[in-house]
Amino acid sequence: MSIKNTFKIGFFCFLLLTFFSCSSKDSNEEQIEELNLSSISQFSSNQETQTLTVTSNVNWTVNKNVSWFSFTPSRGSNNNVINISVEANPSINNRSGIITVESNTISKSITIVQAGKVNSGDLDPNKAPSENFDLSTWKLNTPENNGNGFSKTITVSEINNRYEDKNYFCTADDGGMVFKCPIAGFKTSANTSYTRVELREMLRGTNTNIPTQGVNKNNWVFGSSPQADKNAAAGFDGEMNATLAINYVTTTGSSSHVGRVIIGQIHANDDEPIRLYYRKLPNNNLGSIYFAHEPRDGFGSEKWYEMIGSRSNSASNPSDGIALNEKFSYQIKTINNTLTVTISRDGKADIVETVDMSNSGFDKSGQYQYFKAGLYQGNNSGNSDDYVQATFYKLEKTHTTN
């Protein structure tokens, strides 16, 4: 046999040996087990069901350590979802339990937290919002068509005539005042891109002879405004106090929109001394609180203040954040040119942020202010039926009068 043929045979044998060696190695490699669980939001105090997503490539079983919630299925394989249902919480205290999903070699657990029953004091679930809250100087906008292609206005007289709409504004089972705002709907003007179910302060009450806009008896001014404006306005400086729980936020839409909503404002002629936001991203259990201060045109750029967590589109779960259905309070207060925002929660220290508005232009002649409360949607890119919902348990405001 020639040297050339011998070389060819040897090379062929080498290739066969390499192929079977690799095949044997691949077949002997063990599958890497995978078992991961999604996050889950805090449950309300009511009977409720949420889904937990399992990402896996193995068989698994489910267990729990408390009796007040149930789940289905009790076992599964590969990717699946687990439906978790809680009973109504009869206590005013939050409660928690653990659900565990495990395979032969991996065990993963998630803590299930349910809010306590809200002690709503004198709030009566059988009454309209105007019978539980002083709405004598508020009007309401909802995203229904007013007949002219813009949002519907419920006047001061109408809202105080036991007005309710189960789709947008009504009384909760615990007596709270519910605001529900979908992404889709009609806007208040051509200058806004977002829907709202929001109260607008109307210090004139039912006296419609006073115009809505202007330095007049329907609006207020800063205490540092000219004396003539202070005399013409309904009052000066202001304080608004609200206690509420965010029940649901949007889960669809662009990364800059999803999960955010404005829950309180001071609005001026054209700008907003404050827009107070709550935001919870889909993968986080807790939400953030932050606000924007928008000076008048020509008086500087908009500034942002983070109070709890971050306003980032990719924020991690805030360690001291606010869960859905968790009650908290905010106070928005102005004295002269000083804006003070306070966030309060039971058992925790208040979080306070102060803004010097001396150079923001709001105490110039002709500038007026009014409070807004409820829900101003922060998402116009999500699914049309996606929405945000909040329940208010307190809404009060005061002004200094001449």
Q: What is the 3-state secondary structure (H, E, C) of the chain?
A: CCHHHHHHHHHHHHHHHHHHHHHHHHHHCCCCCCEEECCCCCECCCCEEEEEEEEECCEEEEEECCCCEEEECCEEECCEEEEEEECCCCCCCCEEEEEEEECCCCEEEEEEEECCCCCCCCCCCCCCHHHHCCCCCEEEEEEEECCCCCEEEECHHHHCCCCCECCCEEECCCCCEEEEEECCCCCCCCCCCCCEEEEEECCCCCCCCCCCCCCCCCCEECCCCCHHHHHHCCEEEEEEEEEEEEEECCCCCCCCCCCEEEEEEEECCCCCCEEEEEECCCCCCEEEEEEEECCCCCCCCCEEEEEECCCCCCCCCCCCCEECCCEEEEEEEEECCEEEEEEEECCEEEEEEEEECCCCCCCCCCCCEEEEEEEEECCCCCCCCCEEEEEEEEEEEEEECC
Residue keyed to tokens 């190695």 = 25
Q: Which residues of the chain are in CATH 2.60.40.10 domains?
A: 35-114
Residues in the chain: 402
24 CB-near residues (< 8 Å, 6+ apart): none
* Range from 119-128, 160-169, 212-221, 352-361 carrying the lowest mean pLDDT: 119-128
Closest by CA to 158, choosing from 220, 112, 202, 210, is 202
Look at residue 265 and tell me whether its pLDDT is greater than 60: yes
Confidence bin at 257 (pLDDT 50/70/90) = very high
CATH class label, 35-114: mainly beta
Look at residue 191 and tell me whether its pLDDT is greater than 90: no
- Measure the CA–CA gap between 21 and 217, rounded to whole angstroms: 90
- Measure the CA–CA gap between 394 and 384, rounded to whole angstroms: 30
The more confident residue out of 7 and 387 is 387
First-to-last alpha carbon distance for the chain, in angstroms, is 118
The more confident residue out of 67 and 278 is 278
Q: Using alpha carbons only, what angle is made at residue 312 by residues 308 and 317, rounded to the nearest 5 degrees? A: 55
- Measure the CA–CA gap between 289 and 64, rounded to whole angstroms: 33
CATH level 3 topology of 129-400: Jelly Rolls (2.60.120)
What pLDDT score was predicted for residue 9? 56
Q: pLDDT, tens digit, for every residue of 112-163? A: 988 876 655 689 999 999 999 999 999 999 999 999 999 999 999 999 999 9
Strands 220-221 and 235-248: parallel
Q: pLDDT, tens digit, for every residue of 280-339? A: 999 999 999 999 999 999 999 999 999 999 999 999 999 999 999 999 999 999 999 999
Look at residue 70 and tell me whether its pLDDT is greater than 50: yes
333 CB-near residues (< 8 Å, 6+ apart): 238, 239, 240, 339, 340, 341, 342
What pLDDT score was predicted for residue 24? 46
Confidence bin at 45 (pLDDT 50/70/90) = confident
What pLDDT score was predicted for residue 166? 96
What pLDDT score was predicted for residue 27? 46
Look at residue 79 and tell me whether its pLDDT is greater than 80: yes
Look at residue 236 and tell me whether its pLDDT is greater than 90: yes
CA distances from 369 to 214, 218, 235, 361 (A): 9, 9, 10, 12
Mean pLDDT of 379-398: 97
Computed over every residue of the chain, the mean pLDDT equals 91
- Measure the CA–CA gap between 280 and 259, rounded to whole angstroms: 5
Q: Which residues of the chain are in CATH 2.60.120.200 domains?
A: 129-400
Asked if residue 117 lies in contact with residue 92, where contact means CB atoms within 8 angstroms, the answer is: yes
Number of other residues whose CB lies within 10 A of the CB of residue 333: 17
